[in-house]
Amino acid sequence: MSISIILPVYNAEQYLDEAIQSILVQSHKQFELICVDDGSTDGSLKIIQKYARADARVVIISRENKGLIYSLNEAINMCKYRYIARMDADDICEPERLELQIKAMKSKKLAVIGSSYSYIDTTGVKTGSRLLPTGHRIISWLMDFGSPFCHPSVMFDKELIGTELRYDPNYKHCEDYELWFRCRRIGLKLGNLNKLAFNYRVLETSVSRLNNQEQRLTSINLVAKYCDFVENKDEAEYILYGRKHTKNLKMINKFLLRSLRQFNLAKAFFVFLYLIK
Protein backbone atom coordinates (compact mmCIF):
# COMPACT_ATOMS: atom_id res chain seq x y z
CA MET A 1 0.00 0.00 0.00
CA SER A 2 3.04 2.33 -0.08
CA ILE A 3 3.10 5.08 -2.71
CA SER A 4 5.90 6.95 -4.47
CA ILE A 5 4.91 10.54 -5.27
CA ILE A 6 6.87 12.41 -7.93
CA LEU A 7 6.97 16.19 -7.74
CA PRO A 8 8.95 18.05 -10.44
CA VAL A 9 10.01 21.53 -9.33
CA TYR A 10 11.30 24.44 -11.38
CA ASN A 11 11.28 27.97 -9.90
CA ALA A 12 8.13 27.20 -7.92
CA GLU A 13 8.86 28.91 -4.60
CA GLN A 14 5.59 30.89 -4.58
CA TYR A 15 3.31 27.85 -4.18
CA LEU A 16 5.69 25.02 -3.27
CA ASP A 17 5.05 25.15 0.48
CA GLU A 18 1.32 24.61 -0.03
CA ALA A 19 1.89 21.78 -2.49
CA ILE A 20 4.27 19.85 -0.24
CA GLN A 21 2.18 20.43 2.88
CA SER A 22 -0.90 19.04 1.12
CA ILE A 23 1.04 15.80 0.56
CA LEU A 24 2.52 15.52 4.04
CA VAL A 25 -0.92 15.80 5.71
CA GLN A 26 -2.49 13.05 3.61
CA SER A 27 -4.66 10.54 5.46
CA HIS A 28 -2.62 7.81 3.76
CA LYS A 29 0.78 8.02 5.47
CA GLN A 30 2.83 5.34 3.72
CA PHE A 31 4.68 7.15 0.95
CA GLU A 32 7.88 8.70 -0.28
CA LEU A 33 7.81 12.16 -1.86
CA ILE A 34 10.46 12.48 -4.57
CA CYS A 35 11.05 16.17 -5.28
CA VAL A 36 13.05 16.82 -8.44
CA ASP A 37 14.61 20.27 -8.40
CA ASP A 38 15.20 20.84 -12.11
CA GLY A 39 17.86 23.54 -11.84
CA SER A 40 15.72 26.14 -10.06
CA THR A 41 17.27 29.60 -9.69
CA ASP A 42 14.86 30.79 -6.96
CA GLY A 43 14.38 29.51 -3.42
CA SER A 44 12.69 26.23 -4.39
CA LEU A 45 15.57 23.96 -3.33
CA LYS A 46 15.79 25.57 0.12
CA ILE A 47 12.07 24.95 0.63
CA ILE A 48 12.45 21.27 -0.32
CA GLN A 49 15.48 20.89 1.94
CA LYS A 50 13.51 22.34 4.85
CA TYR A 51 10.90 19.62 4.51
CA ALA A 52 13.48 16.88 3.94
CA ARG A 53 15.17 17.76 7.25
CA ALA A 54 11.84 17.51 9.07
CA ASP A 55 10.36 14.44 7.33
CA ALA A 56 12.35 11.40 6.19
CA ARG A 57 9.73 10.61 3.55
CA VAL A 58 10.92 13.58 1.46
CA VAL A 59 13.61 12.63 -1.09
CA ILE A 60 15.54 15.24 -3.08
CA ILE A 61 17.01 15.15 -6.58
CA SER A 62 18.78 18.40 -7.49
CA ARG A 63 20.79 19.10 -10.64
CA GLU A 64 20.99 21.36 -13.70
CA ASN A 65 17.87 22.02 -15.76
CA LYS A 66 16.91 19.14 -18.06
CA GLY A 67 13.20 19.73 -18.56
CA LEU A 68 9.94 18.23 -17.32
CA ILE A 69 9.95 14.97 -19.29
CA TYR A 70 13.49 14.09 -18.19
CA SER A 71 12.55 14.90 -14.59
CA LEU A 72 9.44 12.72 -14.66
CA ASN A 73 11.26 9.73 -16.15
CA GLU A 74 14.17 10.16 -13.75
CA ALA A 75 11.82 10.16 -10.77
CA ILE A 76 9.89 7.13 -12.06
CA ASN A 77 13.16 5.19 -12.27
CA MET A 78 13.87 6.07 -8.61
CA CYS A 79 10.47 5.07 -7.23
CA LYS A 80 10.62 2.31 -4.61
CA TYR A 81 6.95 1.41 -4.61
CA ARG A 82 4.44 -0.18 -6.93
CA TYR A 83 2.02 2.75 -6.87
CA ILE A 84 3.25 6.06 -8.27
CA ALA A 85 1.36 9.34 -7.92
CA ARG A 86 1.93 12.60 -9.79
CA MET A 87 1.92 16.05 -8.23
CA ASP A 88 2.76 19.55 -9.46
CA ALA A 89 4.46 22.27 -7.44
CA ASP A 90 1.61 24.78 -7.69
CA ASP A 91 -1.38 22.50 -7.01
CA ILE A 92 -2.98 21.30 -3.77
CA CYS A 93 -4.29 17.83 -2.83
CA GLU A 94 -7.30 17.28 -0.64
CA PRO A 95 -6.26 15.27 2.46
CA GLU A 96 -7.90 12.02 1.33
CA ARG A 97 -6.65 12.04 -2.27
CA LEU A 98 -4.08 9.22 -1.96
CA GLU A 99 -6.31 7.07 0.22
CA LEU A 100 -9.24 7.27 -2.17
CA GLN A 101 -7.13 6.63 -5.25
CA ILE A 102 -5.22 3.62 -4.00
CA LYS A 103 -8.41 1.99 -2.71
CA ALA A 104 -10.11 2.49 -6.08
CA MET A 105 -7.07 1.22 -7.98
CA LYS A 106 -6.87 -1.98 -5.99
CA SER A 107 -10.59 -2.73 -5.94
CA LYS A 108 -11.11 -2.04 -9.68
CA LYS A 109 -7.68 -3.29 -10.85
CA LEU A 110 -6.92 0.03 -12.55
CA ALA A 111 -3.59 0.83 -14.18
CA VAL A 112 -4.20 4.60 -14.06
CA ILE A 113 -6.56 6.65 -11.94
CA GLY A 114 -7.00 10.42 -11.95
CA SER A 115 -9.37 12.65 -10.06
CA SER A 116 -12.09 15.17 -10.68
CA TYR A 117 -10.83 18.53 -9.51
CA SER A 118 -11.48 22.10 -8.46
CA TYR A 119 -9.94 25.12 -10.13
CA ILE A 120 -8.14 27.52 -7.79
CA ASP A 121 -6.73 30.96 -8.47
CA THR A 122 -3.39 32.44 -7.43
CA THR A 123 -4.66 32.95 -3.88
CA GLY A 124 -6.03 29.41 -3.52
CA VAL A 125 -9.69 30.43 -3.85
CA LYS A 126 -11.84 27.84 -5.65
CA THR A 127 -13.29 29.27 -8.86
CA GLY A 128 -14.99 26.22 -10.36
CA SER A 129 -14.71 22.48 -10.77
CA ARG A 130 -14.61 19.72 -13.37
CA LEU A 131 -16.13 16.29 -12.94
CA LEU A 132 -14.28 13.76 -15.08
CA PRO A 133 -15.69 10.47 -16.40
CA THR A 134 -15.05 7.60 -14.00
CA GLY A 135 -15.67 4.44 -16.06
CA HIS A 136 -13.00 2.83 -18.22
CA ARG A 137 -15.14 2.52 -21.35
CA ILE A 138 -16.19 6.18 -21.45
CA ILE A 139 -12.66 7.37 -20.60
CA SER A 140 -11.29 5.23 -23.43
CA TRP A 141 -13.85 6.55 -25.92
CA LEU A 142 -13.44 10.19 -24.87
CA MET A 143 -9.66 10.03 -25.33
CA ASP A 144 -10.03 10.64 -29.06
CA PHE A 145 -11.54 14.06 -28.30
CA GLY A 146 -8.97 15.25 -25.72
CA SER A 147 -7.13 14.14 -22.62
CA PRO A 148 -9.46 12.39 -20.12
CA PHE A 149 -7.20 13.04 -17.10
CA CYS A 150 -5.90 15.93 -15.05
CA HIS A 151 -2.24 14.96 -15.36
CA PRO A 152 -0.91 16.06 -11.93
CA SER A 153 -3.77 14.22 -10.21
CA VAL A 154 -3.01 10.74 -11.58
CA MET A 155 -1.73 7.61 -9.88
CA PHE A 156 -0.15 4.66 -11.73
CA ASP A 157 0.25 0.96 -11.02
CA LYS A 158 3.71 0.34 -12.42
CA GLU A 159 3.36 -3.44 -12.26
CA LEU A 160 0.38 -3.31 -14.62
CA ILE A 161 1.86 -0.68 -16.95
CA GLY A 162 5.34 -2.19 -16.98
CA THR A 163 7.88 -0.81 -19.47
CA GLU A 164 5.27 1.52 -21.00
CA LEU A 165 5.48 3.72 -17.89
CA ARG A 166 7.69 6.43 -19.34
CA TYR A 167 7.11 9.78 -20.99
CA ASP A 168 8.16 10.14 -24.63
CA PRO A 169 10.34 13.24 -25.21
CA ASN A 170 9.06 13.41 -28.79
CA TYR A 171 5.70 14.69 -27.48
CA LYS A 172 6.73 17.71 -25.43
CA HIS A 173 3.78 19.52 -23.77
CA CYS A 174 1.54 16.51 -24.61
CA GLU A 175 3.68 13.82 -23.00
CA ASP A 176 0.82 12.77 -20.72
CA TYR A 177 -1.75 12.55 -23.54
CA GLU A 178 0.61 10.29 -25.49
CA LEU A 179 1.03 8.04 -22.45
CA TRP A 180 -2.76 7.67 -22.08
CA PHE A 181 -3.04 6.62 -25.71
CA ARG A 182 -0.36 3.96 -25.22
CA CYS A 183 -2.11 2.68 -22.12
CA ARG A 184 -5.34 2.36 -24.09
CA ARG A 185 -3.58 0.64 -26.98
CA ILE A 186 -2.24 -2.15 -24.76
CA GLY A 187 -5.62 -2.66 -23.08
CA LEU A 188 -5.00 -1.21 -19.61
CA LYS A 189 -7.94 -0.28 -17.42
CA LEU A 190 -8.39 3.44 -16.64
CA GLY A 191 -10.48 5.39 -14.13
CA ASN A 192 -11.09 8.68 -12.32
CA LEU A 193 -12.40 9.57 -8.88
CA ASN A 194 -15.72 11.37 -9.05
CA LYS A 195 -14.82 13.18 -5.83
CA LEU A 196 -13.08 16.56 -6.05
CA ALA A 197 -9.85 15.31 -4.45
CA PHE A 198 -7.49 17.68 -6.24
CA ASN A 199 -7.11 21.44 -6.67
CA TYR A 200 -5.63 22.62 -9.97
CA ARG A 201 -4.16 26.11 -9.92
CA VAL A 202 -4.89 28.22 -13.00
CA LEU A 203 -1.91 30.46 -13.84
CA GLU A 204 -1.21 32.69 -16.81
CA THR A 205 2.37 31.42 -16.73
CA SER A 206 1.47 27.71 -16.91
CA VAL A 207 3.31 25.55 -19.42
CA SER A 208 0.14 24.83 -21.40
CA ARG A 209 -0.70 28.52 -21.76
CA LEU A 210 2.82 29.57 -22.73
CA ASN A 211 3.15 26.74 -25.27
CA ASN A 212 -0.40 26.63 -26.56
CA GLN A 213 0.41 26.43 -30.27
CA GLU A 214 3.02 23.69 -29.91
CA GLN A 215 0.67 21.75 -27.63
CA ARG A 216 -2.13 22.11 -30.18
CA LEU A 217 -0.02 20.78 -33.06
CA THR A 218 1.31 17.89 -31.00
CA SER A 219 -2.16 16.84 -29.86
CA ILE A 220 -3.34 16.84 -33.48
CA ASN A 221 -0.44 14.55 -34.40
CA LEU A 222 -1.35 12.22 -31.54
CA VAL A 223 -5.00 11.88 -32.54
CA ALA A 224 -3.97 11.33 -36.17
CA LYS A 225 -1.68 8.52 -34.95
CA TYR A 226 -3.87 6.80 -32.37
CA CYS A 227 -7.52 7.45 -33.29
CA ASP A 228 -8.83 4.56 -35.39
CA PHE A 229 -11.54 6.50 -37.23
CA VAL A 230 -9.27 9.43 -38.22
CA GLU A 231 -7.11 9.17 -41.35
CA ASN A 232 -5.16 12.44 -41.47
CA LYS A 233 -4.18 15.56 -39.52
CA ASP A 234 -7.00 17.69 -40.96
CA GLU A 235 -9.53 15.24 -39.58
CA ALA A 236 -7.69 15.12 -36.26
CA GLU A 237 -7.76 18.92 -36.04
CA TYR A 238 -11.51 18.88 -36.62
CA ILE A 239 -12.01 16.24 -33.92
CA LEU A 240 -10.05 18.24 -31.34
CA TYR A 241 -10.81 21.84 -32.24
CA GLY A 242 -12.95 22.39 -35.35
CA ARG A 243 -16.08 20.65 -34.03
CA LYS A 244 -16.31 23.27 -31.27
CA HIS A 245 -16.92 26.00 -33.84
CA THR A 246 -18.77 24.37 -36.73
CA LYS A 247 -20.63 21.16 -37.53
CA ASN A 248 -19.20 19.55 -40.66
CA LEU A 249 -21.90 16.97 -41.36
CA LYS A 250 -19.99 15.43 -44.25
CA MET A 251 -17.01 14.73 -42.01
CA ILE A 252 -19.21 13.57 -39.13
CA ASN A 253 -20.95 11.05 -41.39
CA LYS A 254 -17.55 9.86 -42.58
CA PHE A 255 -16.48 9.24 -38.98
CA LEU A 256 -19.75 7.46 -38.23
CA LEU A 257 -19.38 5.07 -41.17
CA ARG A 258 -15.81 4.23 -40.22
CA SER A 259 -16.84 3.70 -36.61
CA LEU A 260 -19.63 1.35 -37.64
CA ARG A 261 -17.16 -0.72 -39.65
CA GLN A 262 -14.49 -0.82 -36.94
CA PHE A 263 -16.33 -0.82 -33.61
CA ASN A 264 -19.49 -2.02 -31.95
CA LEU A 265 -22.71 -0.08 -32.41
CA ALA A 266 -22.47 1.49 -28.95
CA LYS A 267 -19.12 3.17 -29.62
CA ALA A 268 -20.15 4.29 -33.09
CA PHE A 269 -23.30 5.87 -31.65
CA PHE A 270 -21.23 7.55 -28.94
CA VAL A 271 -18.84 9.03 -31.52
CA PHE A 272 -21.76 10.36 -33.56
CA LEU A 273 -23.55 11.90 -30.57
CA TYR A 274 -20.36 13.50 -29.25
CA LEU A 275 -19.63 15.12 -32.60
CA ILE A 276 -23.09 16.57 -33.11
CA LYS A 277 -23.74 17.74 -29.55
- Last residue of one domain, picked from the residues 210, 235, 266: 210
Say if residue 70 is in the same domain as residue 166.
yes
Number of folded domains in the chain?
Answer: 2
Q: Quote the domain boundaries for residue 243.
A: 212-276
Say if residue 14 is in the same domain as residue 136.
yes
Say if residue 75 is in the same domain as residue 132.
yes
- Last residue of one domain, picked from the residues 210, 235, 268: 210
Say if residue 136 is in the same domain as residue 260.
no
pLDDT tops 90 at residue 244: no
pLDDT band at 204 (very low <50, low <70, confident <90, very high): confident
With CA atoms as reference, report the closest residue to 61 among 25, 95, 35, 29: 35
pLDDT in tens, 142-193: 999 999 999 999 999 999 999 999 999 999 999 999 999 999 999 999 999 9
pLDDT in tens, 69-125: 999 999 999 999 999 999 999 999 999 999 999 999 999 999 999 999 999 999 999
What's the pTM?
0.94
Residue 181 is part of a domain; what is its CATH number? Answer: 3.90.550.10
Buried b (16+ CB within 10 A) or exposed e, 160-180: bbeeebebeeebbbbbbbbbb
Q: How remote is the C-alpha of 269 from its chain's centroid?
A: 27
Say if residue 92 is in the same domain as residue 16.
yes
Look up residue 38 and give its DSSP letter: E
The residue ranges of DSSP E strands in the chain, in sequence order, are: 3-9, 31-38, 58-63, 83-86, 92-93, 112-120, 126-130, 155-157, 190-201
